[in-house]
Structure 1
């Protein structure tokens, strides 16, 4: 008012300061100021909304606080930790417990970083309502956020059996932080120079890049009125160099992505030099788009944090108009990585709506939508898998001797799943017994873009358009539809208690174009294997798809295993794994990709391999009694040994033609046949 009297125009800062002054409980004045901001041509920002929400909290106006929070997305604002804490605190004082617990769950979905205030208010709400059964779940979420040494007050809501006042550090080891996906967990955060003379080889773990520009001459000339390209194809190179600019070790390169907002890799490369011998080296990272260098980062290696996520700005290259981007990565010591064999369980999804429609040649259903969920039969298959695992859990819990081949799947360190819906539903239903219940350590479901099925022309079940939280929300809707005829909604309710890591799928994560060539698939398979090789986990479950699992086993099973069990090795690489089938494999991290690190594989839980059916869509089809076994000749190289990230359209067409020949059940028995002869068979 005084500003108006002095004929001074209020600013955004003055509005925010005035709203903040109302936090003592004058919530009506705060809301009035908030409403008047647009009249002065100012759009409320997060600070404005947070201050108004806090004033509602102090006045115990929980409904108004929730209203402000829920309106933020429609105003193009992203609620932060302060936003949620104010709403949770207001509900704790006067609102229903269900709203408080729901807000805490939303914080995990929105990556709003719950803190001590969030959990304290939630626990107090549980105490006030006498709802002690919800306390273990809240504690589990606290562990998920790595809130160690956070004392639990003497909450009356705790059951009478609780004698001591526990702290979160008493609750056991914590899972890796989901937002940074650290490859090596570490209590301390040393810098590279702290590794001294004991360090091993330098491992560079690339997480993602952000705000990556892309070049479009037409867009620039027309002031962004016309775009020729929807996105660029950014990729990253990293290496270490001496003061004179000489390369030390290797130049590592990560494959191109077809997105720019947040292209993600989450895979590692060995830079090929001993950390202790080159502490004075300079780390150099370059961001490229096809043949154009977008920017460079140069920084002393020894001052960088080790075994922790780092985000640094990329200096844009001169003359290309690129905005400043950032890259997130980790510097790791190879000696800190797991040395023993890792156990990998490859789980194929249950029958999908596509599988069902394809087995009946229902072309209308097959073309109706993309990314199909499970069919009713698929639900029963995943429930049967869940029952098998639950029976094994019960046997071990009762002190009986369990199946040694299943020991690792009962306590997985991590569960990776393809982002496609049928794989997500299979992971949720089939693996629920080992994902962790209330009061137990809950394991995240990590969406792994590289685990998706090979993208095929005409195969709409291999296409996806959802990103980030959309994938989680779509999974919930599909699960509700799948259990719509069931009175017991326990499975749907369980979905809300799970944690999902969506870091890899925040931007466009699927291959560009209608189909994925064999060469593109191989590059993705190599990225997938690098993720497993450099993972800090030793017991890993991957929920994926038949063709992708088959391709991984065909490419990376070791020669020793092929000699020891030639028939099984051949079948694993060429026959289709049954729906909800499980392959247990052992991975030797001391072997490189060229040395085929999968040293052992076996079928478990009664899984079967089925000969592949014929037809252009056979790679994803449901199995039938009339499946025709394909015979593969050693003369056909399904996946080239030394792929290049860049490839020509002609080469791509050749690979696709060969793939078509195989899908058409062409039998090639003469190893001397050339690719040209195979192409003749396709005509």
Structure 2
């Protein structure tokens, strides 16, 4: 009835009466530096300002998420426990300069003649852009009878960390929950706040409601083919590695990607054969399990890829014949949080391209990779036509080595992206170190007990080039439950793990013979490259070299120089 709070049914005792000042909910932002403080008041838009001052929703309002969100036709329809909102993009016209936008969203509603504010959800900061894209979903818990408003604030991050109290509020808008139609993207005009004196300035935001994500997913991780950086490391040509950024595939990497494409074709034929076998009907047999993993791979209707060139090239070549791309019109969507971990001096994690320029660069590198094919051949256009720029429209790369906290935050965002993606089977094309941290750091206790040796290898080893690793990840009932990897296996016979040679040579190396360089040569090269990085990201030159000298001396102590 109307007196029942959300998440309860008739006949079930209602929760305690609402207090005058209900306890606040914990913040559900995706970054650890989110302050959670209230948004500062502004003179315009009094209705939104009144909504900001509402008390937060009591804890007993949060419903329990259903364990089986995907329903068949014969099952009774259950109410969705939350809104799965996908943030598309935020665009601004007439701003005096590029901004660092991030989005804060929550739901306000009335119940028993009182108004309440739901917990806030944050979409991360995009750097130096006026065309920000997220293309990722978050959960906003439901309210009775869709009787509420979605409140959206867009801030401009000023410092290194987000702080709603100090950051400038660019624009705001509100949207009735009844207007959110399933799988229908809507474009809403922002009321410009900080720039309201100029009537020519405009802001728009796009979002849509997508279906509830399943809790148990099959995620297929693929490492890119051999890059020029990998080849230079094998030959220990360290100075040569530092002269370039965002290294493309080598000829060997091209062959590895083509081998992956052949394995996809073989998987199609094997799937046809397994459909006719009697053993595949026994769910506990090895044939049935094999069929299940192959079927999930061939039916993966979401393909995410790192925006680094070698990963995009691998996805274009290796997945060119994937049935969901050729027949299902699924695109390879770039997602920047799947990029490689940035270490000191690792130039292969830095780029100069954003948005559509990533696709243009990939096309140029593919032409160079296939010299026997004329550049005007339509094949190159077909390959890159399948790529969508995704969220990589800003300065998405790092210019300095990532700290442990930064990489953990990025892995958390990547897992949130996978959690709320409305797809049961997902392919991710990425990099060795990042995938090792994501998989090796989230294995369940039961998986470690069943496969103790494999669990150790997943922590200390990395995927071979163009290997497909099939995993089963249980994301739990909500964000309070950490995702757990319940299964890991190679999809094809070529799959294997490689021992990380870096750990043997990071001592630089008292056991290996290396090609050393002089201190002056290395220091001059690093100074020039670091200046280029900082100028590219922040628009200013480096004035002192103390940090670079300190880092260089650390390398000298290890024997690298």
The TM-score, its normalising length taken from structure 2, stands at: 0.65
Match for 2:204 among 326, 330, 340?
326
- Cα–Cα, structure 1 residues 607 and 197, in superposed 2: closer, same or farther, change >3 Å? closer
Match for 1:468 among 344, 351, 355?
355
Q: Give CA deviations for 1:32-80 in whole Å, capped at 9, x if unaligned.
A: xxxxxxxxxxxxxxxxxxxxxxxxxxxxxxxxxxxxxxxxxxxxxxxxx
Structure-2 separation of matches of 1:557 and 1:355: 28
Q: Give CA deviations for 1:250-290 in whole Å, capped at 9, x if unaligned.
A: 11112222133122222222223x34x15222211111123
Q: Which has the higher contact order (CA 8 A, sep 6+)?
A: 2
- Cα–Cα, structure 1 residues 301 and 412, in superposed 2: closer, same or farther, change >3 Å? closer
Q: Does 1:522 align with 2:522?
A: no
Instruction: Say what the alpha-carbon RMSD is for the aligned residues.
Output: 3.8
The residue matched to 1:607 in structure 2 has which SS?
coil
Q: Is the 8 A contact 2:99 2:130 kept in 1?
A: no
Structure-2 separation of matches of 1:625 and 1:346: 32
Q: Which residue of 1 aligns with 2:85?
A: 204
| Paired residues for 1:151-170 under 5 Å | none
Q: Which residue of 2 aligns with 1:432?
A: 320
Q: Is the 8 A contact 1:261 1:507 kept in 2?
A: no
- Cα–Cα, structure 1 residues 510 and 321, in superposed 2: closer, same or farther, change >3 Å? farther
Structure-2 separation of matches of 1:617 and 1:262: 43
- Cα–Cα, structure 1 residues 391 and 282, in superposed 2: closer, same or farther, change >3 Å? closer
- Cα–Cα, structure 1 residues 421 and 301, in superposed 2: closer, same or farther, change >3 Å? same
Q: Which residue of 2 aligns with 1:270?
A: 139
Structure-1 separation of matches of 2:263 and 2:195: 61
Match for 1:454 among 327, 333, 341?
341
Q: Give CA deviations for 1:120-161 in whole Å, capped at 9, x if unaligned.
A: xxxxxxxxxxxxxxxxxxxxxxxxxxxxxxxxxxxxxxxxxx
Aligned-pair distance for 1:349?
Answer: 0.6
Q: Which residue of 2 aligns with 1:256?
A: 125
Structure-1 separation of matches of 2:490 and 2:513: 23
- Cα–Cα, structure 1 residues 600 and 396, in superposed 2: closer, same or farther, change >3 Å? closer
- Cα–Cα, structure 1 residues 420 and 616, in superposed 2: closer, same or farther, change >3 Å? farther
Aligned-pair distance for 1:301?
Answer: 2.3
Q: Give CA deviations for 1:517-564 in whole Å, capped at 9, x if unaligned.
A: 332322322222222222222221111100111111133333332333
Q: Give CA deviations for 1:172-197 in whole Å, capped at 9, x if unaligned.
A: xxxxxxxxxxxx99xxxxxxxxxx99
- Cα–Cα, structure 1 residues 495 and 549, in superposed 2: closer, same or farther, change >3 Å? farther
| Paired residues for 1:281-360 under 5 Å | 281-290=148-157, 291-317=167-193, 323-332=201-210, 336-339=211-214, 341-360=216-235
The residue matched to 2:434 in structure 1 has which SS?
helix
Q: Is the 8 A contact 1:476 1:492 kept in 2?
A: no
The residue matched to 2:322 in structure 1 has which SS?
helix
Q: Is the 8 A contact 2:82 2:139 kept in 1?
A: yes
Structure-1 separation of matches of 2:365 and 2:153: 41
Q: Give CA deviations for 1:453-502 in whole Å, capped at 9, x if unaligned.
A: 12333211111111222222222221222221x46999982652563343
Structure-2 separation of matches of 1:563 and 1:519: 28
Structure-2 separation of matches of 1:408 and 1:420: 26
Structure-1 separation of matches of 2:512 and 2:268: 34
Structure-1 separation of matches of 2:473 and 2:497: 21
Q: Is the 8 A contact 1:206 1:268 kept in 2?
A: yes
Structure-2 separation of matches of 1:326 and 1:305: 18
Structure-2 separation of matches of 1:529 and 1:213: 35
Structure-1 separation of matches of 2:128 and 2:415: 22
Q: Does 1:240 align with 2:107?
A: yes
Match for 1:396 among 268, 271, 290?
271
Structure-2 separation of matches of 1:483 and 1:318: 51
Structure-2 separation of matches of 1:477 and 1:321: 44
Q: Is the 8 A contact 1:239 1:247 kept in 2?
A: no
Q: Which residue of 1 aligns with 2:242?
A: 367
The residue matched to 2:169 in structure 1 has which SS?
strand
The residue matched to 1:614 in structure 2 has which SS?
helix
Aligned-pair distance for 1:406?
Answer: 2.7
Aligned length: 416
The residue matched to 2:446 in structure 1 has which SS?
helix
Q: Does 1:412 align with 2:300?
A: yes
Q: Which residue of 2 aligns with 1:610?
A: 498
- Cα–Cα, structure 1 residues 389 and 503, in superposed 2: closer, same or farther, change >3 Å? closer
Aligned-pair distance for 1:240?
Answer: 0.9
Structure-1 separation of matches of 2:129 and 2:454: 43
Aligned-pair distance for 1:321?
Answer: 5.4
- Cα–Cα, structure 1 residues 212 and 453, in superposed 2: closer, same or farther, change >3 Å? farther
The TM-score, its normalising length taken from structure 1, stands at: 0.54
- Cα–Cα, structure 1 residues 549 and 437, in superposed 2: closer, same or farther, change >3 Å? closer
- Cα–Cα, structure 1 residues 511 and 407, in superposed 2: closer, same or farther, change >3 Å? same
Q: Which residue of 2 aligns with 1:543?
A: 429
Aligned-pair distance for 1:374?
Answer: 0.8
| Structure that is richer in strand per residue | 2
| Paired residues for 1:603-642 under 5 Å | 603-605=490-492, 606-614=494-502
Match for 1:583 among 469, 474, 477?
469
The residue matched to 1:395 in structure 2 has which SS?
helix
Q: Is the 8 A contact 1:587 1:597 kept in 2?
A: yes
Q: Is the 8 A contact 2:172 2:191 kept in 1?
A: yes
Structure-1 separation of matches of 2:436 and 2:174: 41
Q: Give CA deviations for 1:622-644 in whole Å, capped at 9, x if unaligned.
A: xx9999xxxxxxxxxxxxxxxxx
Structure-1 separation of matches of 2:272 and 2:512: 39
Q: Is the 8 A contact 2:350 2:399 kept in 1?
A: no
| Structure that is richer in helix per residue | 1
Q: Is the 8 A contact 1:262 1:506 kept in 2?
A: no
| Paired residues for 1:3-42 under 5 Å | none
Structure 1 unaligned blocks of 5 or more = 1-183, 186-195, 215-223, 225-229, 628-655, 667-683
